[in-house]
């Protein structure tokens, strides 16, 4: 049969892709790649051109075939798609491990580095350095028995991480909350109320039926006046896929988490590392476990006094001790009282079309590009839009999909991912394509989607990742865009771009009242900007709690004692948490960043990169936030370089010095 996944021309023909296409397409590419790799490994006189470039080409094609399948599994999940996706995971894992453990290829790369190294470009040498490092980190030097065990462990990890994510999605979709009377929904915006009414009607029920999608959860915890409703949602969300809560044990990730931690530790030990945290740091800016732990604790020491005062003040405002499900509600009330700013009221000023236009204008002013929507491109859902980026001369640079709204078949959260990577090799040139995925509240009938300012920050954040992927100038796929970038620097462009969503000039351009057409008034802008440091201590301590929990979980694993998830979490909470949580809270069981995503022993990178981003933005503040020479330096030193430069060297080239934590503390109103 004709297989649309094997169509060599991007973008993918999403309208034609079916679950039954996925495994045959993957098997075809893997079979072709294995045959070609066998030929390359047998070359008597390997060169960069004869071995490295063909391998870069093969990996690029594999990603192009597999990326649409993985993406559809995340945004349009169905039983048949899930089955096809899971059937492919062992095939892909086995191939990647075999490739990375190939001794003939490893020796070929070593020989190329020794013979051609001095004549190669810095980027080509970097390709070799990363490849040789990755060979070693995949166990190329292990004996046959240990190699086999490493491969089996990686295969099982792939399966378990997918299972973890499936359990979270199923438990999220599996819970709903019926409400009989409209009065019980007091405080919620009308779009959510109307959605709940339609959901109940569609199921033949009276009243209202609320789902556990992310926009509804956030709205309930922030705006619902009913403490019982807030508690019900807090419990359902924070016990997903666990042994507690309304669906206790049904999709329980407890055993999955233990197995994941055990296998990660075993993989690290096979390669001679003391822990998975040590193993993970082999590819990071941070070099040692102690360096990361001390970094988190230094920030915690600075933020804790502020956080404690903020909680005490909030409880004084509420007139009582607060439960975890009350904090968001009273924070919103206090913020509204102090700054006359409400996230829900701000929605009226941030229709998605206006925000997108303003966001694109920021990128265009900074980096001299042009962004325009392109019609007629196949998409996976009617809500999805496609955009193309051109340089100042009108030449295409790249393109991206935007999938903005929450729906039941879609993973929660927001992310950017690679659809097609950049490539410029002897075989030809391919421009990058990105996925930008959010979970905003869908629009009401006849009106545009309305965003909170928090939503605006999310959109700017993910678009920052997108620019990192799309504005790369690196010709080799393994280092182009976000590929090859140290994981604790990967959030630098995304968090950097968030700063613009707080700037008065930008707020003027991204805001337009949905009814009056007027921009957010100057006094409201000032009030909104003043909220940036509101409860900054509490927010920072929460992020530090997550980061230290993740890192200690992987640094302190003991095979004889198991993962000790609850024990380590309790210890971290005693050190970092300010807001008490109930004993039945099981947030770790849905902590997909760590147990299913790429942030294992790496969640600290959000704070690490936030330091870099605040310091980078301070360079713009010194010269003007749209200063052209500064933007060119940022593009040339960081955005365009992908993984072709050491992250610290790239930052120092841009900033003229090593990173400084003080701009971040200043942004949040926290004294150093």
In order, the DSSP letters of 218-257 are HHHHHH---HHHHHHHHHHHHTTTSSSSTTTTTT--HHHH
How confident is the model over 542-586, as pLDDT tens digits? 999 999 999 999 999 999 999 999 999 999 999 999 999 999 999
Is 337 a domain residue?
A: no
Q: Are 647 and 611 in contact (CB under 8 A)?
A: no
Q: Are residues 283 and 355 in the same domain?
A: no
Whether the predicted pLDDT of 288 surpasses 80 = yes
Whether the predicted pLDDT of 455 surpasses 90 = yes
How confident is the model over 217-245, as pLDDT tens digits? 999 999 999 999 999 999 999 999 999 99
Peptide bond into 47 cis (omega under 30): no
Is 405 a domain residue?
A: yes
Which residue in the list 53, 462, 491, 545 is annotated as catalytic?
A: 462
Q: Single out the residue in 599, 622, 646 at which a domain terminates.
A: 599
CA angle, residues 288, 293, 296, in degrees to nearest 5 = 130
Nearest residue to 251 via CA among 242, 239, 262: 242
Residue 9's pLDDT is 74
Is 556 a domain residue?
A: yes
Whether the predicted pLDDT of 541 surpasses 70 = yes
CATH number of residue 423's parent domain: 1.10.1370.40
Which token pair is 226? 């009913």
Alpha carbon distance 585, 201 (integer Å): 32
Average pLDDT over residues 455-472: 98
Q: Are residues 438 and 383 in the same domain?
A: yes
Which token pair is 258? 């233990």
Q: Single out the residue in 548, 582, 599 at which a domain terminates.
A: 599
Q: How confident is the model at residue 87 (pLDDT cuts 50, 70, 90)?
A: very high
How confident is the model over 300-333, as pLDDT tens digits? 999 999 999 999 999 999 999 999 999 999 999 9
Residue 318's pLDDT is 98
Domain that holds residue 27: 4-100+102-137
Is 663 a domain residue?
A: yes
Q: Are residues 264 and 354 in the same domain?
A: no
Residue 33's pLDDT is 97
Residues 6+ apart with CB under 8 A from 455: 350, 438, 440
489 DSSP 8-state letter: G
Q: How confident is the model at residue 1 (pLDDT cuts 50, 70, 90)?
A: low
462 given a catalytic annotation: yes
- The number of helices, as runs of H, and strands, as runs of E, in the chain is 26, 9
Instruction: Compute the mean pLDDT over every residue in the chain, rounded to the nearest whole number.
Output: 96
50 DSSP 8-state letter: I
CATH number of residue 45's parent domain: 1.20.1050.40
Is 144 a domain residue?
A: no
Q: Are residues 29 and 60 in the same domain?
A: yes
Whether the predicted pLDDT of 107 surpasses 80 = yes
Q: How many domains does the chain have?
A: 4
Question: In angstroms, what CA-CA distances link 456 with 55, 216, 393?
Answer: 40, 17, 30
Percent of the chain with pLDDT strictly greater than 90: 97
How confident is the model over 583-600, as pLDDT tens digits? 999 999 999 999 998 899
Q: Are residues 25 and 118 in the same domain?
A: yes
Q: Are residues 529 and 624 in the same domain?
A: yes
Residue 175's pLDDT is 97
Q: Are residues 316 and 369 in the same domain?
A: no
Q: Are residues 318 and 374 in the same domain?
A: no
How confident is the model over 517-529, as pLDDT tens digits? 999 999 999 999 9
Q: Are residues 583 and 450 in the same domain?
A: no
- What is the reported pTM? 0.94
Q: Are 188 and 223 in contact (CB under 8 A)?
A: yes
Q: Are residues 269 and 417 in the same domain?
A: no
How confident is the model over 22-36, as pLDDT tens digits? 999 999 999 999 999
Residue 147's pLDDT is 97
Whether the predicted pLDDT of 672 surpasses 70 = no
Which residue has tokens 């008065």?
A: 504
Q: Are residues 588 and 611 in the same domain?
A: no
Q: Are 137 and 283 in contact (CB under 8 A)?
A: yes
Is 284 a domain residue?
A: yes
Is 420 a domain residue?
A: yes
Q: Are residues 583 and 612 in the same domain?
A: no
How confident is the model over 172-187, as pLDDT tens digits? 999 999 999 999 999 9
Question: In angstroms, what CA-CA distances link 638 with 395, 618, 633?
Answer: 21, 15, 8
Is 457 a domain residue?
A: yes
Q: How confident is the model at residue 382 (pLDDT cuts 50, 70, 90)?
A: very high
Residue 10's pLDDT is 78
CA 554, 559, 560, 561 torsion-angle sign: positive
138 in helix, strand or coil? coil
434 in helix, strand or coil? strand
The secondary structure element, H or E, covering residue 398 is strand 396-405
The secondary structure element, H or E, covering residue 305 is helix 289-318
Q: Single out the residue in 599, 621, 648 at which a domain terminates.
A: 599
Average pLDDT over residues 605-624: 97
How confident is the model over 187-217, as pLDDT tens digits? 999 999 999 999 999 999 999 999 999 999 9
């Amino acid at each position: 049969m004709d297989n649309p996944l094997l169509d060599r021309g991007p973008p993918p023909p999403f309208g034609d892709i079916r679950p039954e296409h996925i495994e045959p397409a993957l098997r075809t590419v893997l079979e072709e790649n294995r045959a070609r790799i066998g030929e390359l490994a047998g070359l008597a006189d390997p060169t960069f051109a004869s071995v490295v470039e063909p391998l870069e080409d093969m990996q690029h094609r594999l990603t192009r075939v597999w990326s649409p399948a993985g993406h559809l599994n995340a945004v349009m999940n169905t039983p048949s798609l899930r089955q096809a996706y899971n059937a492919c995971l062992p095939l892909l894992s086995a191939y990647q491990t075999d490739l990375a453990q190939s001794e003939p290829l490893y020796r070929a790369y070593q020989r190329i580095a020794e013979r051609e190294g001095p004549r190669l470009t810095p980027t080509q040498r970097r390709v070799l350095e990363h490849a040789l490092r990755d060979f070693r980190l995949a166990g190329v030097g292990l004996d046959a028995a240990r190699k086999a065990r490493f491969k089996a462990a990686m295969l099982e990890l792939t399966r378990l991480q997918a299972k973890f994510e499936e359990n979270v999605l199923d438990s999220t979709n599996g819970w709903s909350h019926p409400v009989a009377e409209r009065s019980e929904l007091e405080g919620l915006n009308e779009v959510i109320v109307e959605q709940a009414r339609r959901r109940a009607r569609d199921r033949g029920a009276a009243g209202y039926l609320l789902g556990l999608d992310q926009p509804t959860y956030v709205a309930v915890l922030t705006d619902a006046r009913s403490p019982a409703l807030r508690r019900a949602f807090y419990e359902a969300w924070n016990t997903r896929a666990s042994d507690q809560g309304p669906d206790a044990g049904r999709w329980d990730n407890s055993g999955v988490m233990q197995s994941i931690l055990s296998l990660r530790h075993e993989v690290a030990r096979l390669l001679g590392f003391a822990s998975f945290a040590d193993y993970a740091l082999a590819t990071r800016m941070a070099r040692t476990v102690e360096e990361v732990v001390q970094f988190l604790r230094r920030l915690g020491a600075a933020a804790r006094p502020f956080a404690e005062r903020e909680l005490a003040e909030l409880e004084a405002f509420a007139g009582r001790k607060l439960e975890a499900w009350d904090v968001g509600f009273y924070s919103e009330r206090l913020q509204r009282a102090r700054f006359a700013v409400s996230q829900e009221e701000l929605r009226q000023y941030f229709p998605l079309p206006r925000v997108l236009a303003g966001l694109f204008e920021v990128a265009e002013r900074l980096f001299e590009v042009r962004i325009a929507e392109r019609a007629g491109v196949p998409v996976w859902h009617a809500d999805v839009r496609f955009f193309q980026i051109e340089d100042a001369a009108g030449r295409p640079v790249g393109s991206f999909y935007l999938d903005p709204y929450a729906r039941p078949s879609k993973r929660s959260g927001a992310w950017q991912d690679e659809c097609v990577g950049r490539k410029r090799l002897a075989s030809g040139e391919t421009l990058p394509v990105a996925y930008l995925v959010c979970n905003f509240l869908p629009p009401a009938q006849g009106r545009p989607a309305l965003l909170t300012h928090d939503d605006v920050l999310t959109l700017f954040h993910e678009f920052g990742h997108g620019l990192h992927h799309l504005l790369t100038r690196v010709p080799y796929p393994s280092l182009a865009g976000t590929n090859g970038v140290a994981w604790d620097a990967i959030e630098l462009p995304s968090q950097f771009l968030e700063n613009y969503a707080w700037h008065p000039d930008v707020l003027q351009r991204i805001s337009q009242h949905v009814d009056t057409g007027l921009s957010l008034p100057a006094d409201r802008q000032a009030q909104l900007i003043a909220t940036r440091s509101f409860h900054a201590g509490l927010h920072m301590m929460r992020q530090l709690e997550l980061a230290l929990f993740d890192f200690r979980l992987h640094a302190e694993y003991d095979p004889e004692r198991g993962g000790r998830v609850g024990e380590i979490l309790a210890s971290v909470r005693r050190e970092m948490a300010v807001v008490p949580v109930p004993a039945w809270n099981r947030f770790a069981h849905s902590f997909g960043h760590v147990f299913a995503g790429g942030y294992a022993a790496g969640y600290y990178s959000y704070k690490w990169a936030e330091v870099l981003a605040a310091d980078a933005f301070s360079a713009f503040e010194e010269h003007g936030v749209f200063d052209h020479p500064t933007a060119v330096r940022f593009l040339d030193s960081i955005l365009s370089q992908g993984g072709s430069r050491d992250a610290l060297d790239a930052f120092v080239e841009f900033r003229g010095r090593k990173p400084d934590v003080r701009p971040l503390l200043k942004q949040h109103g926290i004294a150093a």
